[in-house]
Amino acid sequence: MIRRTLACMLTLGLVACATQPPSPSPSPQASGAPNKPVPGQKGPAEAAPEAAAATAAPVDLTPVPFEVARANFVRDTAQRYGIPAAQIEATLAQAQIRDPIIAAMSRPAERVKPWNEYRPMFISQSRIDGGRKFLAEHRDELTRVQQRTGVPAEVIVAIIGVETSYGRNTGSYRVLDALYTLAFKYPRSGDPAKLEREVRRELYFRDELARLFALTRDEKLDITAIKGSYAGAMGMGQFMPSSYQDFAVDGNGDGRRDLFNSYDDVFSSIANYFVKKGGWVRGGPVAVPATLAAGREEFNPTDWAPTWTLSALAQRGYQPSVSVPAGLTATPITLEGSAGKQYWLGFQNYYAITRYNLSKMYAMAVFQLSQAIAGQELPPA
């Protein structure tokens, strides 16, 4: 989860930004009001089919030696967060460049699987059964979070099931090593057409490494001990340091935000992410099956912001297959099913799930797993 788009921070590293871009992810609003969906807004996913924002600030692609980039990082992180430079230097001296991480990030992208192949990777009877067991074991905590935030317990459980198999697989890499590796040795393909993205990704991870220093200080975590994914995502919900900083919640009131061991904190933080980042609507639908009139052309927007009225979609040939409340807006979704095309309408809460991972199939997998955990019959894949 929770791998956010770049922010150019000070002179942290390899390149400098010509202008300061907007923050990649809004901080929680003091009022608690949900954020409005922004068409084309990038989110936390490592790989996303959505179009990149046209306003992304340019970056200098001139190579900078490792030693210079590292020294700049130490200086700028110390200034940004008030951490002694000597402490940062001493910590980085314990970090390791991990070749397996570079290899994993260099791996060519697999072909995009159709829905009927994608869904079984995340939804199986064992995962459904595991989700029901997990929900039953933590029903009291989940119910409190659901009542407070409006995010259903089964959706929170489905996220944890998809991300970490209900906390059983939270990652085996030291987060310090993962972020250090990708912050200073992000792999280069040698393809000039890919260089800008590769530089931006390196800067992104450099920012995450800087945030890790602040996060571990503030949350009293051992920066050299915490483990996560090869991309640096942590805990049962797989939060990157920036998302941990911005959206984690102290659910049990003990003065800490512990996404490794505290179920109250984990559940509250996932729900808070949906509400504050995704604009989750209490009691609102996620998605419903739909039909496309014969002879009408598919409509595939570049992102999944639910900006289309039902009447506008009807003019394009889309009709929900079940009754939905009047006045909602939605986005059309096309999936390649085993029996042919499947059409769905996704609402604000579907969009909220895509903020966790920018993939329409990821969001649908989480939604359908949550429905199965809640006892509803799965539709055909």
List, by residue number, the catalytic residues: 163
Of 252, 242, 263, whose CA–CA distance to 166 is shortest? Answer: 263
What is the three-state SS of 90-148?
Answer: HHHCCCCCCHHHHHHHHCCCCCCCCHHHHHHHHCCHHHHHHHHHHHHHCHHHHHHHHHH
Cross-strand partners of 329 = 309
CA 228 to chain CA centroid, nearest Å:
15
Distance CA 335, CA 290 (A): 11
Distance CA 142, CA 155 (A): 10
Tell me how crowded residue 198 is: count the other CB atoms within 10 A of its CB: 18
The answer to whether 367 touches 287, Cβ cutoff 8 Å, is: yes
Phi first, then psi: give them for residue 331, nearest 5 degrees: -130, 140
Of 353, 372, 377, whose CA–CA distance to 163 is shortest? Answer: 353
Distance CA 321, CA 126 (A): 29
